[in-house]
């Protein structure tokens, strides 16, 4: 039973992992023994994340490096395919994909422009599907299975004002997960999502919330009474990639302190 959560010898790609929750996911997978390819939109930020991770974790598994990086926009189909190809090239194989890249613009629904709507849906939804599709094509061609974990949100399950396109994208993620899980199960590909609640200090120089009254409301409506640390959000991704989740597919796992339970 002690080996159920061990990821030693496995490999993963984590999109949107140059900072915030994605970087915490990469750290968590590395801590459990996996090799990880990190990805961020910004090349300099991705290089900084790679440098930091290499300073923290052992550098090689046998003759292969344990940590690599490929910067780029997940809305680019070539980049999505490149992530899979690079992981296979560097690590020798690919076992897990985490589709975490995402953006948000917070404003009243009546104020969004068509361009803002399209950008959020493209990054959050197509930017999750394309890497998943590329990974699935690889696994099907190889005759091997794998796991895909996407990042959803409580906004995909409950109405939160000023998040209209973001909420629509995360609701789409939830249904995409269920559909792909049903379609790819015969190929031994598991597809799940983690739906985080409110998170504290997810990136440097960004406050948790500018309005203290709103912050108090979040704490009141979260049964555990606080925001999550990024490490608490990241840990379930390791579970969903691990042998402990071998019979888990098509699930959207709420990691929200009970917010959607009330």
Kindly state whether residue 5 falls inside one of the protein's structural domains: no
166 catalytic residue (yes or no): yes
Q: For 199, which DSSP code?
A: B
Kindly state whether residue 79 falls inside one of the protein's structural domains: yes
CA–CA–CA angle 38, 119, 96 (5° rounding): 30
Query: What's the total number of domains in the chain?
Result: 1
Kindly state whether residue 223 falls inside one of the protein's structural domains: yes
Kindly state whether residue 1 falls inside one of the protein's structural domains: no
What CATH number should be reported for the domain holding residue 95?
A: 3.40.50.720
Residue whose tokens read 């939830």: 174
Residues 6+ apart with CB under 8 A from 111: none
Kindly state whether residue 3 falls inside one of the protein's structural domains: no
Kindly state whether residue 6 falls inside one of the protein's structural domains: no
Long-range contacts of 201-209 (CB under 8 A, 24+ apart): 201/230, 202/19, 202/20, 202/21, 202/230, 203/19, 203/20, 204/19
pLDDT in tens, the chain (262 residues): 468 999 999 999 999 999 999 999 999 999 999 999 999 999 999 999 999 999 999 777 677 899 999 999 999 999 999 999 999 999 999 999 999 999 999 999 999 999 999 999 999 999 999 999 999 999 999 999 999 999 999 999 999 999 999 999 999 999 999 999 999 999 999 999 999 999 986 544 344 455 677 788 888 999 999 999 999 999 999 999 999 999 999 999 999 999 999 8
Kindly state whether residue 47 falls inside one of the protein's structural domains: yes
Report in angstroms the alpha-carbon separations of 175 from 45, 64, 91, 211, 236. Answer: 31, 37, 31, 33, 19
Kindly state whether residue 46 falls inside one of the protein's structural domains: yes
Give the range of the structural domain holding residue 107, as residue numbers without chain letter.
11-261
Q: Which of 41, 57, 112, 166 is catalytic?
A: 166
């Amino acid at each position: 039973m002690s080996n159920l959560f061990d990821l030693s010898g496995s490999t993963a790609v984590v999109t949107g992992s140059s900072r915030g929750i994605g970087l915490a996911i990469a750290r968590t997978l590395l801590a459990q023994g996996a090799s990880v390819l990190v990805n961020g939109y910004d090349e300099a930020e991705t290089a900084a994340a790679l440098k930091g991770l290499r300073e923290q974790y052992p550098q090689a598994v046998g003759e292969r490096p344990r940590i690599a990086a490929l910067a780029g926009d997940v809305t680019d189909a070539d980049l999505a395919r490149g992530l899979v190809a690079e992981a296979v090239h560097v690590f020798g194989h690919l076992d897990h994909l985490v589709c975490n890249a995402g953006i948000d613009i917070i404003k009243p629904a009546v104020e969004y422009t068509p361009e803002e709507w399209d950008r959020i849906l493209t990054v959050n939804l197509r930017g999750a599907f394309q890497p998943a599709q590329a990974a699935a094509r690889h696994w099907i061609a190889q005759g091997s299975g794998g796991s895909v974990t996407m990042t959803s949100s409580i906004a995909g399950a409950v109405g939160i004002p000023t998040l209209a396109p973001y909420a629509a994208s995360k609701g789409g993620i939830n249904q995409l997960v269920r559909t792909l899980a049903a379609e790819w199960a015969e190929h031994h590909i598991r597809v799940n999502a983690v739906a985080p609640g409110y998170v504290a200090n997810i990136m440097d120089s960004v406050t948790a919330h500018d309005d203290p009254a709103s912050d108090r409301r979040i704490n009141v409506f979260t049964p555990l009474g606080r925001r999550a640390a990024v490490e608490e959000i990241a840990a379930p991704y390791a579970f969903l990639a691990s042998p402990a989740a071998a019979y888990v597919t098509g699930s959207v796992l709420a990691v929200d302190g009970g917010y959607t339970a009330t």
